[in-house]
Every structure is written in C-alpha cells, then in structure tokens.
Chain A
Amino acid sequence: MQGTLDLLVLRVLVAGSLHGYAISRRLAELSEDWLSVDEGSLYPCLYRMEKKGWIRSEAGRSENNRKARFYSLTDAGMEQLAIEQDGWQQFQRAVARILKKA
C-alpha cells in the first residue's frame, strides 16, 4: 500500500541505525515472514526519505566487516513517524467500521 513502507521503515529505525539489508530482514522477522519487502523497492524508499530529511545515512562497517551504509532516524523522521502512525490508525479504524456495519 502507498506510503506503508515508509511507516514500517521509520518504525524499524526507532530501535537504532541499521543498513538496508538489516532493515529488510527485520521487517520480515517482525511480520513472521508474512511481509516480504521487495529489496528493489526498499532502497528507492530509503533515498526518498533521506532526501526529505526523515532519515540520515552514514558509511560504516557491517558485522562481517564489509562496507555498508547505515540509516538512522532524524527528529523530522520521528515527527513524521507520529503522523504516519496516526494516519494508519485512523485508516484501520475506518476499514474496521466499514467491515462491521456493511
């Protein structure tokens, strides 16, 4: 769903900085492999959010000592996460109401 990936990535990054691969693994893990994030869509999403200033990136070393880029949340990103979460909950409630009453 449009914008959902942004919300999920922002939420995952609250725990701390992660590289792209770790973000995709974490998303799969938390959804118990129910959500499979297309890696080809993850990076455009990360770059887009970085451009908007929601996340920042810096070069570093991964756990197996390979060069990797780590993404972390900015203050603007935290605010955006709150907005996105709020929007998502409203959406969820609206859908639930329709399913119940229809």
Chain B
Amino acid sequence: MNRGIDAFREWMELRKRVREERQFHLERLRAEFEVLGLSVREANRAARGRFGSRRHLKSALHELGGDWAGLVQLASAHRVHASLWFQPALLVAGILLVLLISPAPLAVVEGVAGRPLTAADRDAVFISEQKWNLTYLGIKKADYEAIQAMDCLTNLVRHQSIHARAQVRKSVALAAIESLVRKQTGNPRLRVIPFFEHQPIVMGPAKAVWGLAGLNALIFVVPLRRSALWLGYGLAVGSLHWLGSVFVWAMAIQVWSRIAWSTDGRALLAFLMTFMVYLGLVALQCRAWWSDLRQRCPFCLERLLLPLIAGSRDCFLLNSETTESVCAHGHGVLVESKWSSRFRPQQSPLLGLIRG
C-alpha cells in the first residue's frame, strides 16, 4: 500500500512543480504587460497567449513524467505491482467502477447477492421451455402469444427469449397452470416455475465458470502444501476476483436485457458473445491470481526475487530447465519447472550465497 502512496505522492510533486513554474512565469509575464499599460484582464490574456497552449503544458508534463504514462512508470519503479494490496485494491476499484457505470447499481448488487422476495414475487412465475430437465431454452414468440389470453396469468411480460414472467391467481395451483399452458400452446416442454428459482438463471453461467475455476485452483494449490498464510491470502484474493467477476457479469446481463433486440437470434448471439468475452476475462483473472500467488513467499508473502534459470531447455529428461527465485528475507527458494512448482525452505545454495 505504501509503495502505491509513495508513487502517487511523487507523481503529484512532479505535477505541482510544473504548475508552480507555469504560475511563476505567467505572473512575471502579466506584470510585464501591465507595465506596458495593459489592463489586468488584457495582461492576463496576453500572458497566457505568450506562454503557449495546453498542448505545451501536456508536453511539459510528459517530459517531466507528470502525465498518466509517468504515473505508470513511477508505479512500476516503486514495484507497486509487487505489493500485497495491489490486486485487492485493483479489484475493489473495479467493483466500484462497475457500480458507477451500471444503469441500475442496486439491481447489480441484487443480482449477485440475491434479494428478499416481496409479496408480489411470491405469486410470480416464469415460463420457459425446458430440455432434458436440465436447461431452460426460453420461450418462443408463438408460445408467448398463445398464453397471453389465459385468465389465470396476469401482468404477463416476455423478457427477450429467456422467459415470460407473470403473476398467478392465488386460487390456482402451479401444476394446474403448467398443464393449462402446455394445452394452450401445444408445447409439452414448457414449464411454469416459481420466481425465486429463476435467480440462478441470471448468475448461473458466471457461477458455473467460477465453480470450475475454483475446482481447478484447488487441484493446483492444495498439493503445494504451503503455509496457511499463503493459502489464506490466495483464497481471499481469489474470492475478490470471483466477486469482481460476477459483478461484471451482472452488469453485462443488465445491459444486455435492456437492449431491444430485433430478433431472438440476435439476442442469443449477443448473449453467447458476451459469455465468450466473460470467459476470456475469467481466464485473465485466473492467470493474474495464480502468477502473483506463485511468486510470493509462503512465509512472509513478499514477492520472490532474482529469478535464475538452471538446466537446459533441450534436455528436459535429464537436466530440465528450472527457474529459481529467492525470498529476500531468506525464507527459501521457489523452484519452478514447466511441470511443477516447489518451494524449498532454507535449503538452496542460492540462499547461502545471499547470506554470505
């Protein structure tokens, strides 16, 4: 955290320097023009005109490293990316950004955390076609039009091709409504489901992807048998990645459902493309999480340093290529090959060299 603050402070100092110099120069020019008989306003305008446009200010900031690129360079020089708080801070900022740009932030939170059922929700149902008792396929336009005339359903609304939502009359049982719906449409695969069961549909794909990612993470992380501190940190950052990711998915679905797609096919195509992009994002997150965690000492969680390549890339059976990175606090050495990753506490000759 301190590294980030130091980098930011240094960056602000640079910007302050440019601002102060500009101010000083403008004041002197203004005074010079005032002596020549110009009014304060005219002198001000002339001084600004003489000093140069904002392009010059940008150029000065760029030369000094006071622009955004300079901030990135400073952050890199201060090794901000190696800080324990880097990924968590980035993820929290990402979540806040999602809430900020979302058309309905509360709905995004509800999409992730769920929301208590209201009285209206208790009588709400969604109607969708189900195949092999596993997947909800949505509702076709013809089926939707056929159920519109049914007396037992009120406030009938079709959300894209995903489902139709309606309120049911209290006196009628769900099984009876389902039977009536199937009879009315002639589609035996249509199902009438209470509203609360609908929630997993929205977040389902995201949760399924993360379920798989979590399982894979367990397979990778648990056999490494590192310290509880390391596992705890990994779990906490992994959970934040999950949270950030489902927030993104909730927002994406929210935006998608607000677009009036001209055909069901386009809606489905957009949904699939969104899901593909989401898969890419999850892959990037998993990579960032694992590569950062792998490079941390299990005892002090500091980033390992001085990567040293040993062995040969061409001789992978007898002398395979490995990379050894050492903990700056002397806790041990991480030995990584293409196939495995082991942390050797206080055993490596590299450590002896460091300790003199």
CB-defined interface of B25-57 with A at 8 Å, one 1/0 digit per residue? 101110000000000000000000011110111
- State the CA gap A51–B14 with chains docked (Å): 13
Max chain A Cβ within 10 angstroms of own Cβ: one of B17, B18, B21, B56: B21
A19 engages B60 (CB within 8 Å): no
* Residue of B whose beta carbon sits closest to that of A57: B17
Chain A residues within an 8 Å CB radius of B24: 19-21, 62, 66-68
Residue A56 is within 8 A (CB to CB) of chain B in the complex: no
Residue A47 is within 8 A (CB to CB) of chain B in the complex: yes
Residue A89 is within 8 A (CB to CB) of chain B in the complex: no
B18 engages A43 (CB within 8 Å): yes
Give the interface residue-count category, chain A: 10 to 19
- State the CA gap A100–B59 with chains docked (Å): 39
Given contacts A21-B25, A67-B20, contact A39 B63 (CB under 8 A): no
Given contacts A66-B27, A69-B17, contact A40 B64 (CB under 8 A): no
Give the interface residue-count category, chain B: 20 to 34
Chain B residues within an 8 Å CB radius of A44: 56, 59-60, 62-63
CB-defined interface of A43-76 with B at 8 Å, one 1/0 digit per residue? 1100110010000000000100011110000000
Question: 9 interchain pairs (CB within 8 A)?
Answer: A21-B28, A38-B52, A41-B56, A43-B63, A44-B56, A44-B59, A44-B63, A66-B27, A68-B24
Residues of B within 8 A of A (CB): 17-18, 20-22, 24-25, 27-29, 50-53, 55-57, 59-60, 62-64
Residues of A within 8 A of B (CB): 19-21, 24, 38-41, 43-44, 47-48, 51, 62, 66-69
